[in-house]
Structure 1
Amino acid sequence: MANLADSEKRSPEEHKRLLNLHNSFKPVWLTETVQLGPWLPSDRDVLVEFLNDPRVYPFFSGPPYPYTLKDADAWLALRVDRMTKTGGTPLDFAFRDMARGGKAVGCISISNESDDVLEGDDIGYWLAPDYRGLGLMAKALKIMLYRVSVVEVGKRKFNAHAFVGNYASRKTLEKVGFVVQENMSGTIVKDGKEIPRWVLRLYLTDEDVARWGEEIHKATPIPLVVL
């Protein structure tokens, strides 16, 4: 994954080239109205809206709180650094409801770490409350894990966490194929408190990869109705 040193060495022309490559990612349709696409500078207000939402924030382990426009701008500035080295594909994707003017309503972040690194979180995600429980996240995770990590990076082993008690997140991961590691446990300090987390892992075989490819190729958008 790119680091600060990489960014400092990059010329303005190279930055522009990579940014154009990032923004040219062809969106993936999940439903008749919701697609996955690259994050844009214009999404800064949406990030502040949802990352401060009390229905969303408690399940995060990373972003600062309160989340400010300065935080959003800093994160969005990392888009060029968060790309695969082979295909120049983004590693952070926005869910966009095109029936609402393309408003970003969620996020998926995918890892491009090697299989040798199996400690942190290989995926991260959140959805606006109105879009939960519709099967969006599990479908999006499988598509992006396959297209980015499996195909481009060659990654087959994944590590993930969910706060103990957050059964919705655990269920989403299990639908993708992650399995809770009963002999492992993890904790994180949030708001000065130590919070226990489930450790979940996914190991893909060649057969799994082939099956995923067939499933994704045959997949069609699922209906979505949000009031």
Structure 2
Amino acid sequence: MPTDIVENTESHTQELSSQERDRLCRLHDSYKPVWLTETIQLGPLLPSDKDSLLEYLNDPRIYQYLYGPPCPYKPEDADFWINGRIHRMTKAGSPTNFCLRDMARGGKAIGSVGVSDASDDDLSGDDTGYWLAPDYHGQGLMAKALKMMLRKVSIDEVGKRKFNSHVFEDNWASRKTLEKAGFVYQPDIKRENVKDGKVINMWVFRLYLSDEDIAKQDIIAEATPLPSLA
């Protein structure tokens, strides 16, 4: 599956005053979550998610299909990713990385989906990234989360119309997720990455939308939570 690419945010962080950093953190962390299902929310990455990041990004069932996070994934890696969250926001203040949280398990983060505010003129990188805890696979959660956040943030807020994503070759589950979200496999575009010293062939997917396409899209309605979780 595609994943969030760890970027170097340290230099940007040092340029901010402590007051500005605190303001941006509050803005990011106060983003209102949305209900994906009756028990699962999509919300901003929070400092309290550190334990989940350490648990799942060290799980070989997840790591084998991720390009970017180090392995082993250490506490300082989680701190770096969480502390850099304010640099993964749109100009309007919306996060571009969201956690899936199982509210029936106390809000435990069980996955992540990242969308893009990058220019349509540059399709060299991944516009989407995601991972999901193995116990939640096969339920259609990630395709729904991806479509919801693409529409809510990238399409409606940013005005983005072109998207690019890469998947490890033979990762059929991730391919199915992207295709459910409207992405189309590009057999004529070849890409390779190096992971753990091995060359990995990548599938390339693209999603191009016109304003007419967007007008015809069905809006994914927010779910109604269980009364005990509302």
Where 2:187 maps in the other structure, the secondary structure is: coil
Larger relative contact order (Cα-Cα within 8 Å, sequence gap ≥ 6):
2
Partner of 1:54: 60
Partner of 1:155: 160
Does the alignment pair 1:215 with 2:219? yes
Partner of 2:80: 74
Does the alignment pair 1:142 with 2:165? no
Q: Is the 8 A contact 1:2 1:82 kept in 2?
A: no
Partner of 2:208: 203
Q: Is the 8 A contact 1:2 1:81 kept in 2?
A: no
Where 1:55 maps in the other structure, the secondary structure is: helix
CA RMSD of aligned residues (A): 1.8
Q: How far apart, CA to CA, are the structure 2 residues paired with 1:155 and 1:41?
A: 29
Q: TM-score, normalised by structure 1?
A: 0.92
Q: Evaluate the alpha carbon distance shift between residue 98 and residue 219 of structure 1 in structure 2; reply closer, same or farther with a 3 A threshold.
A: closer
Which 5+ residue runs of structure 1 have no aligned equivalent? Answer: none
Partner of 1:100: 105
Q: Which amino acid aligns with 2:219?
A: E
Q: How far apart, CA to CA, are the structure 2 residues paired with 1:52 and 1:147?
A: 30
Q: How far apart, CA to CA, are the structure 1 residues paired with 2:59 and 2:8?
A: 30
Partner of 1:126: 131
Q: Which amino acid aligns with 1:108?
A: V
Q: Is the 8 A contact 2:10 2:84 kept in 1?
A: no
Q: Evaluate the alpha carbon distance shift between residue 88 and residue 24 of structure 1 in structure 2; reply closer, same or farther with a 3 A threshold.
A: same
Q: Which amino acid aligns with 2:114?
A: S
Which 5+ residue runs of structure 2 have no aligned equivalent? Answer: 1-6
Of 4-13 and 22-31, the range deviating more from structure 2 = 4-13
Q: How far apart, CA to CA, are the structure 2 residues paired with 1:196 and 1:18?
A: 38
**Between the two proteins, what is the percent identity of the paired residues?**
58
Shift of 1:15: 1.0
- In the comparison of the two structures, how many residue pairs are matched? 220
Q: Is the 8 A contact 2:35 2:225 kept in 1?
A: no
Q: How far apart, CA to CA, are the structure 1 residues paired with 2:123 and 2:26?
A: 31
